[in-house]
């Protein structure tokens, strides 16, 4: 059993060594000599970081720093509990977004995530010491088509009644 496995492995290695595809040649049309090997290096993954989040009056300003050119989308949801007339509670979820995906270059870019009327109305009803939780996602697609996402949370504090 071992002898046949070793023989098969030896035969596979010998065939791979003699195969024309195993010979290192240049790219087609690059005019490289046949004995000069070329190395293909895969593009590095895009690294995205959320550098700052500022909550303004009607929007959250999310600054995203990407390591190379990519398509970035920032979106999320805000949730809270509402008491019904019968005393039970119901959870509400409201989606928020910065719009569609946007192509960005390497470096920091600020996305304006608008807070909808429902969220603003709820923030106007709660005290400034209370807050709503927003679960935000930065969805990044690099030039090679690889996707990555970074999830973070933001506290949206209530508004002054003034």
Nearest to 49 by CA among 76, 35, 67, 31: 67
Domain-embedded: residue 128? yes
Distance between CA atoms of residues 107 and 65, nearest Å? 5
The string of pLDDT tens digits covering residues 77-106 is: 999 998 999 999 999 999 999 999 999 999
The string of pLDDT tens digits covering residues 5-62 is: 565 556 555 555 554 444 444 445 544 455 656 666 667 788 999 999 999 999 999 9
Domain identity same for 96 and 147: yes
The string of pLDDT tens digits covering residues 119-158 is: 999 999 999 999 999 999 999 999 888 999 999 999 999 9
Domain identity same for 127 and 54: yes
Domain-embedded: residue 162? no
Domain-embedded: residue 93? yes
How many folded domains does the chain comprise?
A: 2
Q: Say what the pLDDT of residue 7 is.
A: 59
Domain identity same for 94 and 64: yes
Q: Say what the pLDDT of residue 73 is.
A: 96
Range of the domain at 24: 1-40
Domain identity same for 32 and 76: no
Nearest to 152 by CA among 129, 128, 133, 127: 133
Domain-embedded: residue 98? yes
The DSSP secondary structure of 44-91, one letter per residue, reads: PPP-EEEEEEEE-SSEEEEEEEESS-EEEEEEEEEEEEEE-TTS-EEE
Domain identity same for 11 and 84: no
């Amino acid at each position: 059993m071992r002898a046949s496995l070793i023989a098969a492995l030896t035969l596979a290695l010998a065939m791979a060594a003699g195969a024309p595809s195993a010979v290192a040649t240049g790219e087609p049309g690059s005019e490289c000599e046949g004995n000069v090997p070329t190395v293909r290096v895969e593009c590095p993954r895009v690294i995205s970081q959320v550098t700052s989040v500022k909550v303004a009056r009607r929007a959250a300003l999310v600054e995203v720093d990407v390591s190379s050119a990519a398509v970035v989308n920032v979106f999320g949801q805000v949730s809270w509990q509402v008491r019904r007339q019968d005393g039970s509670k119901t959870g509400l979820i409201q989606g928020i977004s910065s719009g569609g995906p946007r192509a960005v270059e390497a470096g920091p870019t600020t996305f304006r995530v608008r807070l909808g009327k429902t969220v603003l109305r709820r923030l106007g009803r709660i005290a400034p010491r209370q807050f709503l939780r927003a679960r935000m996602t930065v969805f990044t697609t690099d030039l090679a088509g690889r996707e990555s996402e970074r999830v973070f949370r933001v506290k949206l504090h209530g508004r002054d009644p003034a």
